[in-house]
Amino acid sequence: MPEAEFIGALTGELDLRFAGAEPWNVDTLYFGGGTPSRLGGSGVARLLAALRERITLAPGAEVTLEANPEDVTVEAAADWRAAGVNRLSLGGQSFDDRVLAWMHRSHDAAAIGRAVDAARRGGVDNISLDLIFALPSAVERDWRRDVRRAIELEPSHLSLYGLTVEPHTPMGRWRARGELVESPDERYETEFLYAHDALTGAGFDHYEVSNFGRAGRHSRHNSTYWSGAPYAGLGPSAHEFDGRLRRWNLPVYRDWVRAVRGGVDPIEGSERLTADNREAERVYLGLRTRGGLDATDAERERARPWIEAGWAAVDEAGRLALTALGWLRLDALAADLTVVRSR
């Protein structure tokens, strides 16, 4: 991915889509969805400088960069920090070299610790780690050890994701050929609940189904997304939402560049949400978070069996929020409440 070409196309897309719009005052900026850290220190700095010509970053804005552990050096982190990046999201995934090899990751386990140290020495101390759980039993991964290793690095934030196998991926093909047996639901539940107990015991807030943060270090960008607020997305495969219309970009890099160079907005598709769609999303996104959902008396009564089972709780303000056990049943509970709201 040529640096100048990518930056030119990204700013070109911004100019195409929002020509004539009022200047933006941006509170969160997130560089992700791929490997933006491969731009290096100077490349990210040039990208941010180009964006600053078109948007205004609010004082204290959260600027996150997704980074591969092997891309993080003291020099790169210092350049990123000087350019305005104040948060790193490291895609560690596991502290087991066998797991990383199975996932075809390009880094080894030791690189994660080196990246955290380099980021801090470069001036970025707001660090989030990604870990993946519920791997197939055949991988023989020690999940508890991985969680303990993550805690020892003292990150400010952790994001944990259960493995999902999509049909048109290498793992999807392995499954189709019988070469991969997915983790049973029992393993998913056991590992999720262990992480909840271990991380909350270590002082992290489990503030969203997949996310844990120290006080004051919750992801502002993701929290804005979960609130249903509009957001813009630029680059290959990027998604955006204006409050009613969801749209997504061409996924292939060359196709995206070609469209922008031709003066064409590189949108691949869009979906206009109905009032019922938006209500269903409000329920689902609200229940994903510890803050929960502003529920009516009827909805709280409907949720009584969940509350009695320990899956949900109602706070003094009447908001309905799921417990860790409840999050394991999120889809079913959200669907049930959506039916109630649609009547």
What CATH number has the domain bearing residue 97?
3.20.20.70
Can you tell me the mean pLDDT for 156-174? 76
pLDDT above 60 for 1: no
Q: Is residue 95 part of a domain?
A: yes
The pLDDT tens digits for 261-272 are 999 999 999 999
Convert 206-240 to b/e letters by CB count within 10 Å (16 or more is b). bbbbbbbbbeebbbbbbbbbbeeeebbbbbbebeb
d(CA 79, CA 83): 6
Among candidate residues 165, 195, 226, the one where a domain is terminated: 226
**pLDDT level of residue 298 (50, 70, 90 thresholds):** confident
Mention every residue, 6+ apart, whose C-beta is less than 8 A from residue 177: none
Pair (195, 313) in one structural domain:
no
Pair (195, 289) in one structural domain:
no
Which pTM does this prediction carry? 0.92
Pair 12, 266: CB distance under 8 Å: no
Pair (58, 206) in one structural domain:
yes
Mention every residue, 6+ apart, whose C-beta is less than 8 A from residue 313: 307, 320, 321, 323
Among candidate residues 163, 192, 226, the one where a domain is terminated: 226
* pLDDT value of position 158: 98
Kind of pairing between the strands at 55-67 and 87-93: parallel
Among candidate residues 194, 226, 258, the one where a domain is terminated: 226
Encoded tokens for 162 = 């259960």
* pLDDT value of position 23: 75
More confident residue, 2 or 202: 202
* pLDDT value of position 4: 92
Pair (336, 216) in one structural domain:
no
Q: Is residue 45 part of a domain?
A: yes
Q: Is residue 200 part of a domain?
A: yes
Pair (56, 172) in one structural domain:
yes
Mention every residue, 6+ apart, whose C-beta is less than 8 A from residue 250: 236, 237, 256, 259, 266, 267, 268
CB atoms within 10 A of CB 204: 22
The pLDDT tens digits for 190-243 are 999 999 999 999 999 999 999 999 999 999 998 888 888 889 999 999 999 998
Pair (289, 222) in one structural domain:
no
Pair 312, 328: CB distance under 8 Å: no
Pair (67, 189) in one structural domain:
yes
Q: Is residue 73 part of a domain?
A: yes
Lowest mean pLDDT segment, chosen from 19-23, 54-58, 151-155, 250-254: 19-23
d(CA 332, CA 219): 26
Mention every residue, 6+ apart, whose C-beta is less than 8 A from residue 190: none
pLDDT above 90 for 71: yes
Q: Is residue 259 part of a domain?
A: no
Pair (333, 186) in one structural domain:
no
* pLDDT value of position 159: 97
Q: Which residue has the tokens 């089972």?
A: 309
* pLDDT value of position 31: 95
Q: Is residue 141 part of a domain?
A: yes
Average pLDDT over the chain reads 91
The pLDDT tens digits for 96-127 are 999 999 988 999 999 999 999 999 999 999 99
Please, is 128 exposed, middle or buried when counting C-beta atoms within 10 Å of its C-beta (0-12, 13-18, 19+)? buried
* pLDDT value of position 226: 84
Q: Which residue has the tokens 């969801």?
A: 246
Residue 91 CA from chain centroid, whole number: 11
Mention every residue, 6+ apart, whose C-beta is less than 8 A from residue 47: 6, 7, 10, 31, 36, 39
Q: Is residue 266 part of a domain?
A: no
Pair (71, 138) in one structural domain:
yes
Task: Kindly report the backbone phi and psi dihedral angles of residue 139, in degrees, each rounded to the nearest multiple of 5, phi listed first.
Answer: -75, -25
pLDDT above 90 for 313: yes
Lowest mean pLDDT segment, chosen from 27-31, 93-97, 162-166: 162-166
**pLDDT level of residue 177 (50, 70, 90 thresholds):** low
- Residue ranges of alpha helices (H) inside the chain are 3-17, 40-52, 74-83, 97-102, 109-121, 143-152, 170-176, 185-201, 220-226, 253-261, 275-288, 297-302, 304-308, 324-327, 330-342
Kind of pairing between the strands at 211-213 and 157-162: antiparallel
Q: Is residue 242 part of a domain?
A: no
Range(s) of the domain holding residue 308: 276-342
d(CA 196, CA 17): 41
Lowest mean pLDDT segment, chosen from 17-26, 231-240, 310-319, 329-338: 17-26
Mention every residue, 6+ apart, whose C-beta is less than 8 A from residue 335: none
Pair (28, 136) in one structural domain:
yes
Pair (334, 201) in one structural domain:
no
Total domains present in the chain = 2
Pair (153, 301) in one structural domain:
no
**pLDDT level of residue 178 (50, 70, 90 thresholds):** low
